[in-house]
């Protein structure tokens, strides 16, 4: 991945143009933008609206409806803790409290060092082996407070990925 994470109107337009021919193109476009820039920049809204013949309010309404889309950049890693019943039955409530206390943030917040954004998720489909946590695109099972700490430690000490 050598595309810059910094968004520009031209880069936004290129993502839109690649997808706007699809029926119901708005969600695929929003996914493409978030995949590329880690968030859907506020400045992209008028460009999307113009390109798809929608109002800005309609585009904003869609972005804000879905939990997945965010309008500001997250930390370097996104950690999602499953809050659903199957994980609750295996100690997810304790894990949630531990995660918030260890990271010093609540849900939808990013640690002061910009390393980790904490999110809640309602089911990762790993329900026979909970509690489950998703770190970026990787899902981890049977997470304990101790293994959570080890994970956070590892995320924070990983060398920066070399792009390109």
Partner 1 sequence: MSVRVFVPRDTTALSLGADAVATGLEREAERRGLELTVVRNGSRGLAWLEPLVEVETPAGRVAYGPVTPADVPSLLDEGLLEGRDGHALAQGPTESIPYLARQQRLTFARIGVTDPLSVDDYKAHDGFRGLEAALALEPQDIVEEVKASGLRGRGGAAFPTGIKWQTVLDTPADQKYIVCNADEGDSGTFADRLIMECDPYVLIEGMAIAGLAVNATQGYIYLRSEYPLAKEILDDAIARAEAAGYLGDDLQGSGRAFHLEVRLGAGAYICGEETSLLESLEGKRGLVRFKPPLPAIEGLFGRPTVVNNVLSLAAVPFILAEGAQAYANHGMGRSRGTLALQLAGNVQRGGLVELAFGTTLRTLMEEFGGGTASGRPLRAVQVGGPLCAYLPENQWDMPLDYETFAEVGAGVGHGGVVMFDDSVDMAEQARFSMEFCKVESCGKCTPCRIGSTRGVEVIDRIRANENRDANLELLGELCETMEDGSLCAMGGMTPFPVQSALKYFPDDFQRAPEGDRS
Where do contacts with partner 1 occur on this chain (CB under 8 A)? 23-28, 30-31, 52, 58, 61-62, 65-69, 84-90, 97, 100, 121-130, 132, 134, 137-142
Residue whose C-alpha is closest to residue 58's, from 22, 30, 18: 30
Cβ-based nearer residue to partner 1, 12 or 84: 84
Task: Output the smallest distance, CB 92 to partner 1, in A.
Answer: 10
Tokens found for residue 56 = 């800005």
Cβ-based nearer residue to partner 1, 113 or 137: 137
Residue whose C-alpha is closest to residue 120's, from 100, 145, 150, 102: 100
What is the CA 13 to chain-centroid distance, rounded? 22
Task: Output the smallest distance, CB 124 to partner 1, in A.
Answer: 6
Task: Output the smallest distance, CB 102 to partner 1, in A.
Answer: 13
Cβ-based nearer residue to partner 1, 27 or 155: 27
Strands 116-121 and 77-82: parallel
Task: Output the smallest distance, CB 26 to partner 1, in A.
Answer: 3
Residue whose C-alpha is closest to residue 76's, from 9, 163, 164, 146: 163
What is the spatial distance between Cα 103 and Cα 155, in angstroms, rounded to a whole number? 12
Cα separations in angstroms, 164 against 2, 104, 160: 5, 33, 13
What is the spatial distance between Cα 36 and Cα 105, in angstroms, rounded to a whole number? 26
Task: Output the smallest distance, CB 40 to partner 1, in A.
Answer: 10
Cβ-based nearer residue to partner 1, 70 or 73: 70
Cβ-based nearer residue to partner 1, 101 or 112: 101
């Amino acid at each position: 991945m050598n595309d810059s994470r910094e968004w520009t109107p031209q880069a936004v337009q290129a993502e839109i143009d690649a997808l706007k021919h699809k029926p119901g193109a708005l969600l695929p476009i929003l996914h493409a933008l978030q995949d590329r820039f880690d968030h859907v920049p506020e400045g992209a809204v008028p460009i999307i609206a113009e390109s798809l013949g929608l109002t800005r309010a309609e585009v904003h309404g869609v972005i804000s409806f879905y939990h997945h889309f965010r309008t500001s950049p997250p930390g370097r890693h996104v950690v999602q803790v499953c809050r659903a019943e199957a994980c609750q039955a295996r100690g997810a409530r304790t894990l949630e409290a531990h995660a918030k206390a260890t990271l010093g943030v609540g849900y939808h917040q990013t640690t002061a060092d910009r390393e980790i954004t904490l999110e809640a998720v309602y089911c990762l489909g790993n329900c026979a082996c909970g509690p489950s946590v998703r770190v970026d695109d990787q899902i981890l099972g049977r997470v304990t407070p101790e293994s959570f700490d080890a994970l956070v430690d590892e995320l924070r000490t990983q060398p920066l990925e070399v792009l390109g």
